[in-house]
Structure 1
Amino acid sequence: MIARSRRAAPVLVCRKCLKRSDEGRDVRRALKSELKASKRDGTKPAKLVMTGCFGLCPKNSIVLASGASLTRQEYVLVADRDQVPRALALLDGERGE
């Protein structure tokens, strides 16, 4: 049996990075509000899912991922809340350079 969600794919964020970062609280709030604002008609907004360590451990950034980005073996690093909209666009499948 296959079940399909009525919700957009979740965004994964490293709990350890959020806790360590000075901007962690602001980035988390920005992520949640951007996910709510970007919901499509007929679907629920994507969930923000806290995960364990991805093993990258950047000094001043927070690691984000999605199912699509993990398939491409890509992670997105966010240092502050201003980078959140671009990060979510990259997670959706837009290729960064």
Structure 2
Amino acid sequence: MSKKPLLRALELRRPGPVLVCRKCLKRMANGGKLRRRLKASLKQRSAGQKKGRARLVFTNCFGICPKDAVVTASAATFARGELLLIRDCSEESIEKAIATLF
């Protein structure tokens, strides 16, 4: 009988997720608009790529709790030891945030 390995590494089929604090998003005045714009920007960014788009994953509190900002993170920002705070939902700030997250 052959034994299966205990650990196995798999290649991701899509870019890593973008983590968004659910509590910060709810407290922000334009939280729904920010969520929609982040999602649309991720879709637009991945339009010409072979892999699928990165997903927005809503998490519990990161423990920072800034006023009037949303805490976001991705694998790239975690590797740099950073978290990203988004203060407004303008197109310019969303584009800068997406560029920083990847």
Give the 3-state SS of the residue equivalent to 1:81 in structure 2. Answer: coil
Q: Normalising by structure 2, report the TM-score.
A: 0.85
Within a 5 Å distance, the mapping from 1:10-89 to structure 2 comes to: 10-39=17-46, 40-82=48-90, 83-89=93-99
Deviation at 1:84, TM superposition (A): 1.1
Q: Structure 2 regions of 5+ residues with no counterpart?
A: 1-7
Deviation at 1:80, TM superposition (A): 1.7
| 5+ long unaligned stretches in structure 1 | 93-97
Amino acid at match of 1:77: L
What's the C-alpha RMSD, in Å, of the aligned pairs? 1.0
- The alpha carbon displacement at 1:31 in A equals 0.4
TM-score by length of 1: 0.89
| Identical counterparts, % of pairs | 45
Instruction: Give the superposition deviation at 1:89.
Output: 0.7
Larger radius of gyration: 2
User: Does the 8 A contact of 1:26 with 1:80 survive in 2?
Assistant: no
Q: 1:61–1:78: 8 Å Cα contact kept in structure 2? A: yes
**Segments ≥4 residues shifted beyond 3 Å:** none
Instruction: Give 3-state SS (helix, strand or coil) of 2:16's partner.
Output: coil
